Amino acid sequence: MSSFSLTILGSSGALPAIGRFPASQYLTIQNRHFLIDCGEGSQMQMAKFQVSLHKIDHIFISHLHGDHYLGLMPLLFSMHLHKRSSDLHLYSPRGLDEIITLQLKHSKSVLNYKIIFHPFNPSKIQLLFEDDALTVETVPLIHKLECAGFLFREKLKPRRINKEKLFEGLKIQQIASLKTGADIFDEQGNLLYKNEDFTLPPRPSFSYAYCSDTAWNEAMITQLRNVDLLYHEATFMNDDRDKAVETKHSTTREAAEMAKRSSAKKLIIGHFSARYKDLNLLLNEAKGVFENTELAIEGVTFVLNES
């Protein structure tokens, strides 16, 4: 059983490669649906892998290099043509609101729905989203353009009713109170039912960190500590480390070292340079440092299991 899954829509670097689209991912957490980055062709990938654009209410853009947001306008227009009416929240560094507003202005377009922009400062850790189930905060990165990753973290889940301990005469409102973690008292304040006698421990809470374009960034190790699933760009192999330094990207070994030093449970590497045809070479190099590494292959869904 799981309510936490990540589907890879795009895994290429700045240049698309045969079979690889620019960066985009679809994340679901407890029936909440998030799009992370939106490179060119993202909506085509969503159709191919049966990801519903109607469910997405929050889109997170790491930075304003084209390979991370140029698929956004086509997606916004498709949502419009599908008669979307609910608000859409866009989180990005400052400037995306101007880009979108200008395109709508010159195409004389008025969307059926409202876009709510949430600009953030990529250089600071900032809480972007919070509800009763999870939080989303920025992860400051080091790149040629201001850039931030995103850390999705589930809150502590409620205790679960142990059905084997229920008995006839226990009222529905009492069961509801037990679900919230409360003990049950009578009108005089006497303890009737202790919560732990009727409930099971909560299901595990998970976390996911999306680290977009970045050079080696030791400062984020503490923030990523013990993350369950870590996506970290690995644009270049170690032999091309000079190119990584020049472009402020990471190598496979640097991505793996980040997973190792932050005690991540699993690492996914992506944002591959188009120069590499055989991605297993990158995978093997990363595994040499951090064994539990997988490739960001488009269409693959990574699931964090609750049981």
Q: Can you tell me which residue has the tokens 């189930």? A: 133
Contact in structure between 248 and 213 (CB atoms under 8 Å) = yes
Q: Tokens for 286?
A: 């990363």
Rounded to two decimals, the pTM is: 0.92
C-alpha to C-alpha distance for 277 and 102, rounded to whole angstroms: 38
Burial 148-171 (b: 16+ CB within 10 A, else e): bbbbbbbeebebeeeeeeeeeeee
67 is catalytic: yes
β partners of residue 90: 59, 117
Residue 177 parent element (H or E): helix 172-179
CB–CB of 62/38 below 8 Å? no
pLDDT score of 232: 98
| Selected catalytic residue, list 37, 57, 67, 183 | 67
Angle in degrees, CA 202, 266, 293, rounded to 5: 160
pLDDT at residue number 138: 98
The confidence score (pLDDT) of residue 292 equals 98
Q: Among residues 301, 299, 300, which one has the least CA distance to residue 46? A: 299
* Domains, the chain: 4-157+203-303 (3.60.15.10), 160-200 (no CATH)
From first to last of its 307 residues, what are the pLDDT tens digits of the chain? 468 999 999 999 988 788 899 999 999 999 999 999 999 999 999 999 999 999 999 999 999 999 999 999 999 999 999 999 999 999 999 999 999 999 999 999 999 999 999 999 999 999 999 999 999 999 999 999 999 999 999 999 988 887 877 777 788 888 788 877 788 887 888 888 888 878 888 889 999 999 999 999 999 999 999 999 999 999 999 999 999 999 999 999 999 999 999 999 999 999 999 999 999 999 999 999 999 999 999 999 999 987 6
